[in-house]
Structure 1
Amino acid sequence: MPELPEVEVVRRGLVSWVRGRTITAVDVLDPRSLRRHALGPEDFAGNLEGARVLDVVRRGKFLWMPLADTPAPSADAAPGEPAPAVALMAHLGMSGQLLMQDPGVPDEKHLKVRLRLSPAEGMPEQLRFVDQRIFGGLFLTSLIPTDDGGPGGLAETPLPLIAEEASHIARDPLDPYFSFDTFYRRLRARKTGLKRALLDQGLVSGIGNIYADEALWKARLHYARPTDTLRRADALRVLDAAREVMTDALAAGGTSFDSLYVNVNGASGYFDRSLNAYGRAGQECKRCAAAGLVSIMRREQFMNRSSYTCPVCQPRPSRGRW
């Protein structure tokens, strides 16, 4: 499943192509991709046609486009416009793709929904939702005020509004409004293992399995370290590590293990070539090897997933040693 950097890559691509444009028509080719829109395909299309995309917003792995039902303001109009109340939410699931295409490009095999956009010079005229496994989908959602009064998420023009379905999750480490003090206070109160806490979207959003392993490796911490034993410096180190690996992943276009994750231009990311922990079971630890030590990365079962650690520089904790 796409993690935060992959979704942010898609967000940045969409901003360049759809912000400020009007949805002129909607083609629903497979209603299954609208199953989260309770009122059905006709209501979905009817509400989108004529709406203008104000921005593309992300919090954690949630992605939405606030909509206005008015035309773009003219150059001599008074500044400002009413706050949007509705947004188009995109859930990518395991294989969802948002692709910008020209009308002449043949339909993709697993095309589910097509949004036709108002013409813009040099820009593709269609936003296509493609989903091979049909775990993702599109739906309309309400925008509500944020709990802390800050922006709902990363956006070009931040508004203190958030998609209702994303309102339960915490801010992510790349969010300028992320509060380390709040994170650390709640982390210490969790009394659980460190990786389990990092995957808790109510505590910190956007850190999935791959980037949790990468951040823990970089911070030299084991996934089972009890959170109530973490010193402030330890927590800061792992958050800084998570921020660093996700920033590096963004620069590489995300992590693509198969052809199903692509950006809006259809290109795959290549951060998987830079992984230090995830998927490296049986290989030498890069850090230990650089120090002249021999240590083989190990894979362990964790919450129906896998965790990858180095037994030398990420030793399993013993409760009494901290």
Structure 2
Amino acid sequence: MPELPEVEVVRRGLVNWVRGRTISAVDVLDPRSIRRHALGAGDFIGNLQGATVSDVVRRGKFLWMPLTDGPAAPENPETAALPDVALMAHLGMSGQLLMQDQDVPDEKHLKVRLRLSPRDGMPAQLRFVDQRIFGGLFVTALVPTDDGGPGGLAESPLPLIAAEAAHIARDPLDPAFSFDLFYQRLRKRKTGLKRALLDQGLVSGIGNIYADEALWRARLHFARPTDTLRRNEAQRVLDSAREVMLDALAAGGTSFDSLYVNVNGASGYFDRSLNAYGRQGEPCRRCAAAGISSTIRRDQFMNRSSHTCPVCQPRPRNGRW
């Protein structure tokens, strides 16, 4: 699955290309890719045709485009009516949102095409391509955020969030993220630290790869009980998660699969900089730099894997998985 940096790379790319443009036509080439839109293809197309994309918003791994009526952007956005619906994009295992010129041949696994109003120097189409068909597009309602803050990371933040994303917490890259609230909830979890980091109701956007990398940077074991974490330790792991995701974002994401690409079709390369994830049996770089012999180990965890250094991330005696 793509993780937060991959989705943020896509968001930033889409903002440059689609914000303020009107959807002039919609082609649904495979109805399976809009199966989450319960009212079907006709309603899906009817909601999109003639609507203008006002922004591109992300919270955690959720991505949506608020839609306003009509082709013309208001002269004074502050007095404009707030959007009440959005186009939600679920990338799933292999979903891609690609900007293409109209003369570029259709991709083999093209599922949905949005034709956009012309703008000099910009591609005319936004295409949803999905080889494995686990992702999809659908129109959803926008609802007020429970804390009155922005729905997510956006160019013009509004206190609205896509209904399907309303249940998840803010992510570490969100300017409105509250460490105090995170720490209060973390201490009450009474579970293992990594399990808590993967809980989207506590903090969103941290997947398996970045949890392992953040814990390695913070020198904390994945089984550390959350109710024993001191405030400075919780701050350290959150800072580490933020740092590792920003590093990945600068590299364009973590690409283990050629399917994970940005809107221009380019892959990220942060996987070359991973210190823990996928390095089982290899030397721990931190320990090696200190002249200590240690190798990264891999443990089964929640039907997945956890990667740690047994020397600089010692397992707690009272650990919880």
Match of 2:207 in 1: 208
Match of 1:4 in 2: 4
**Any gaps of 5 or more consecutive residues in structure 1?**
none
Post-superposition Cα deviations, 1:3-30, rounded to whole Å, max 9, x if no partner, equal 0000000000000000000000000000
Q: Which amino acid is 2:270 matched to?
A: F
Q: Which amino acid is 2:152 matched to?
A: G
Match of 2:54 in 1: 54
Does residue 1:38 correspond to 2:38, yes or no? yes
How far apart, in 2, do the equivalents of 1:283 and 1:80 lie? 58
**Aligned 8 A contact 2:98 2:264 in 1:** yes
Q: 1:178-197 residue pairs with structure 2 within 5 A? A: 178-197=177-196
**Any gaps of 5 or more consecutive residues in structure 2?**
none
Q: Which amino acid is 1:169 matched to?
A: I
How far apart, in 2, do the equivalents of 1:78 and 1:231 lie? 45
Q: 1:156-175 residue pairs with structure 2 within 5 A? A: 156-175=155-174
Post-superposition Cα deviations, 1:145-191, rounded to whole Å, max 9, x if no partner, equal 00000000000000000000000000000001000000000000000
Match of 1:237 in 2: 236
SS across alignment from 1:170 = coil
**Aligned 8 A contact 2:64 2:162 in 1:** yes
How many matched pairs? 319
How far apart, in 1, do the equivalents of 2:106 and 2:195 lie? 41
SS across alignment from 1:25 = strand
SS across alignment from 1:319 = coil
Match of 1:128 in 2: 127
Match of 1:218 in 2: 217
Match of 1:69 in 2: 69
Match of 2:92 in 1: 93
How far apart, in 2, do the equivalents of 1:66 and 1:143 lie? 8
Shift of 1:53: 0.1
**Aligned 8 A contact 2:21 2:71 in 1:** no
**Aligned 8 A contact 2:74 2:80 in 1:** no
Q: Which amino acid is 2:275 matched to?
A: N
**Aligned 8 A contact 2:20 2:73 in 1:** no
TM-score w.r.t. the length of structure 2 is 0.98
SS across alignment from 2:79 = coil
Sequence identity percentage: 82
Match of 1:261 in 2: 260
How far apart, in 1, do the equivalents of 2:74 and 2:7 lie? 32
Match of 1:109 in 2: 108
Shift of 1:71: 2.7
How far apart, in 2, do the equivalents of 1:80 and 1:121 lie? 28
Match of 1:276 in 2: 275
How far apart, in 2, do the equivalents of 1:260 and 1:168 lie? 28
For the aligned residue pairs, the C-alpha RMSD in angstroms reads: 1.0
